[in-house]
Copies of this chain bind each other. A is one copy, B any other.
């Protein structure tokens, strides 16, 4: 005796979600089948649509269903300031702190030679072109405070120097080893104000 083939398939598919093991997946599948078929159908549609339509913004590499994302199209921002972050969640966190009014650039990771992640994997070539345009005057580097994040910051500051762009690093108000997206707005605000020229 076991679950029906389609139920098993659903349980197995749910384990692709981070932090969801076989037991959680089973609970989720039975919950959806028993109590929330409307929600499950909506989730299926959202997933389908998201995977079909969401690509990356040409300018900042953030996830977007448009060629150039909403943030990059905002004209109210200061084009002289470009903030480099690792993830989309970091963009949200920094914007919510209210202390940064420039544009963003997403690495979607950090340099990690041990995992085979080199400059091209974090979009260094795209950033290089962006800096060559000459509009950016200061590159605010907000990569994580991990060893890899620091190494990436160093790499990016060298790149900025080649383009005669000032490179700054958000201040170490952010706890060492912590993840940016979980830091509160005040701390992030202080970190942005206390940024130092490299």
Contact = CB atoms under 8 A, between A and B. Distances in A.
B33 A41 contact: no
A27 B19 CA distance: 10
A74 B87 CA distance: 52
Given A42-B13, A65-B4, A37 B18 contact: no
A31 B18 contact: yes
A5 B63 contact: no
Interface of chain A, main secondary structure: helix
Contacts of A30: 63, 87-89
Interface string A1-14: 11111110110111
Contacts of A48: 41, 44, 48
Contact of A16 (B29, B40, B51): B40
Nearest to A4: B64
Interface in A24-74: 24, 26-34, 36-37, 39-51, 53-54, 62-66, 69-71
A131 B17 CA distance: 43
Contact of A47 (B13, B27, B89, B92): B13
Contacts of A37: 51
Interface of A: 1-7, 9-10, 12-14, 16-19, 24, 26-34, 36-37, 39-51, 53-54, 62-66, 69-71, 87-89, 91-92, 95, 104, 108
18 contacts: A1-B104, A3-B92, A4-B54, A4-B64, A7-B54, A7-B88, A10-B46, A12-B46, A13-B43, A16-B42, A16-B43, A17-B17, A17-B28, A19-B28, A32-B47, A40-B47, A44-B44, A47-B47
